[in-house]
């Protein structure tokens, strides 16, 4: 298909979105990520039954925590699509890139620069 999507998106492969922990999401912000999105299988299609539902719950919790600490909950999103949806994957990447650009950089980065 040779679809293109924004090059600033770094893909971290995991065996199932059920592997994603709140801590993984929080640490990525601590390390300076501007946004994180989790792309899981369609709801009801998880090979492990509930992996993507677990991921969604964790994404919601991470959003709440990030909102509380002033980073912004809207920097974390969850999407569901099947592995054959390449064009949708590229679409989501563009959508996510725009969302995060609208929000601006992770405030942690500015704070770290100030502190240095």
Partner 1 sequence: MIIADKKPIEEIIESIKDYSRILILGCNECVTVCEAGGKKEVGILASALRMYFLNKGKEVKIDENTLERQCDHEYLDELVDQVDNYDAIVSLACGVGVQFAAEKYRATPILPGVDTCFLGATEKRGLWTERCQACGQCILASTGGICPVSRCAKRILNGPCGGSSKGKCEINKDMDCAWQLIIDRLKALDKLDTYEELSPLKDWSTDRAGGPRKIMREDLLL
Residue 10 vs 114, nearer CB to partner 1: 114
Query: What's the min distance (Å) between Cβ of 57 and partner 1?
Result: 9
Query: What's the min distance (Å) between Cβ of 116 and partner 1?
Result: 11
Tell me phi and psi for residue 77, to 5 degrees.
-140, 160
Query: What's the min distance (Å) between Cβ of 9 and partner 1?
Result: 22
Residue 29 vs 89, nearer CB to partner 1: 29
What whole-number distance in Å separates Cα of residue 106 and Cα of residue 50? Answer: 31
- Residue among 39, 34, 33 nearest 103 (CA): 34
DSSP 11: P
Residue 11 vs 115, nearer CB to partner 1: 115
- What is the b/e burial string over 5-36, where b = at least 16 CB atoms within 10 angstroms of the residue's CB? beeeeeeeeeebbbebebeebbebbeeebbbb
Which helix (H) or strand (E) is 60 found in, with range? helix 51-68
Binding site for partner 1 (CB under 8 A): 21-23, 26-27, 29-30, 65-66, 68-71, 107-108, 111-112, 114-115
Residue 76 vs 92, nearer CB to partner 1: 76
Query: What's the min distance (Å) between Cβ of 105 and partner 1?
Result: 12
């Amino acid at each position: 298909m040779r679809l293109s999507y924004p090059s600033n998106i770094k893909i971290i492969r995991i065996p199932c979105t059920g592997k994603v922990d709140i801590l993984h999401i929080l640490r990525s912000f601590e390390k300076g990520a501007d946004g994180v999105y989790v792309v899981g299988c369609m709801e009801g299609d998880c090979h492990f039954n509930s992996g993507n539902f677990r991921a969604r719950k964790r994404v919601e919790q991470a959003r709440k925590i990030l909102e509380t600490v002033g980073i912004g909950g809207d920097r974390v999103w969850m999407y569901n699509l099947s592995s054959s949806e390449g064009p949708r994957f590229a679409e989501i990447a563009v959508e996510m890139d725009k969302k995060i650009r609208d929000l601006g950089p992770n405030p942690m980065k500015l704070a770290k620069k100030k502190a240095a």
